[in-house]
Chains A and B, each alone.
Chain A
Amino acid sequence: MIDGFLALYIFMLAAFTGYEIIARVPVILHTPLMSGSNFIHGIVLVGAMIALGHAENSFEIAIGFAGVLLGAGNAAGGYVVTERMLEMFKTSKPKPGSEGAK
Chain B
Amino acid sequence: MAWLPDLIKACYFLAALLFILGLKRMSSPRTARGGIVWAGVGMLLAVVATFALPDLHNRGLMLAAVLIGVAAAWWSGRRVAMTAMPQMVALYNGMGGGAAAAIGAAELIGYAGRSVVLIDGGQFTANGGSAPSTPQVALAVLGALIGAISFSGSLIAFAKLQGWLDRRFVFPGQRVVNMLVLAAAVVIGALLAAGHLTLPLIGAFFGLALLFGLMMTLPIGGADMPVVISLYNAFTGLAVAFEGFVLQNEAMIIAGTVVGAAGTLLTQLMAKAMNRSLGNVLFGNFGAGGGVAQAIEGAQKPIEASDAAVMMAYAERVVIVPGYGMAVAQAQHKVWEFAQLLIARGVKVKFAIHPVAGRMPGHMNVLLAEAGVPYDLIADMDDINPEFPATDVALVIGANDVVNPLAKTDPASPIYGMPILDVADARQVIVVKRGKGTGFAGIENALFYADNARMLYGDGQAAAGALVAALKTLDA
Contact = CB atoms under 8 A, between A and B. Distances in A.
Interface string B361-400: 1110110011011111011100100000000000000000
A50 B465 CA distance: 54
Given A21-B27, A43-B15, A68-B99, A1 B120 contact: yes
A33 B237 CA distance: 14
Interface in A57-75: 57, 59-61, 63-75
A88 B366 contact: yes
A95 B375 CA distance: 9
Interface in A8-39: 10-11, 14-19, 21-39
B161 interface: no
Given A49-B50, A55-B106, A75-B70, A35 B85 contact: yes
A33 B102 contact: no
Contacts of A85: 82, 85, 366, 369
Interface string B87-131: 011011101101110110111011001100011101010000000
Contacts of B82: 84-85, 88
Contacts of B26: 29, 32-33, 36, 82, 86
Contacts of B374: 92-95
Contacts of A35: 85, 89
A34 B89 contact: yes
Contacts of B360: 30-31, 34
A99 B30 contact: yes
B355 interface: yes
Contacts of A100: 28-29, 375
Nearest to A74: B96
B19 interface: yes
B439 interface: no
B65 A72 contact: yes
Contacts of B15: 43
A29 B25 CA distance: 11
A49 B62 contact: yes
Contact of A69 (B24, B50, B69): B69
Contacts of B241: 11, 14
A17 B247 CA distance: 22
Contact of B65 (A38, A57, A68, A84): A68
Contacts of B67: 72
B91 A77 contact: yes
Contacts of B239: 44
A36 B105 CA distance: 27
Nearest to A95: B376
A44 B110 contact: no
Interface string B229-258: 110010011011101110111111111111
B311 interface: no
Contacts of A38: 89, 92-93, 96, 233, 236, 259
Contact of B251 (A24, A43, A52, A68): A43
Interface of A: 1-2, 4, 7, 10-11, 14-19, 21-57, 59-61, 63-95, 98-102
9 contacts: A10-B254, A19-B265, A45-B66, A54-B56, A67-B99, A68-B99, A74-B93, A83-B33, A83-B36
Interface of B: 15, 19-20, 22-24, 26-30, 32-33, 35-37, 39-40, 43, 46-47, 50-51, 53, 55-59, 61-62, 65-74, 76-78, 80, 82, 85, 88-89, 91-93, 95-96, 98-100, 102-103, 105-107, 109-110, 113-114, 118-120, 122, 124, 135, 229-230, 233, 236-237, 239-241, 243-245, 247-266, 269-270, 353, 355, 360-363, 365-366, 369-370, 372-376, 378-380, 383
Given A14-B257, A77-B88, 14 more contacts: A19-B265, A28-B29, A32-B362, A33-B27, A36-B26, A39-B43, A42-B43, A51-B106, A61-B58, A68-B65, A74-B96, A90-B33, A91-B369, A99-B29
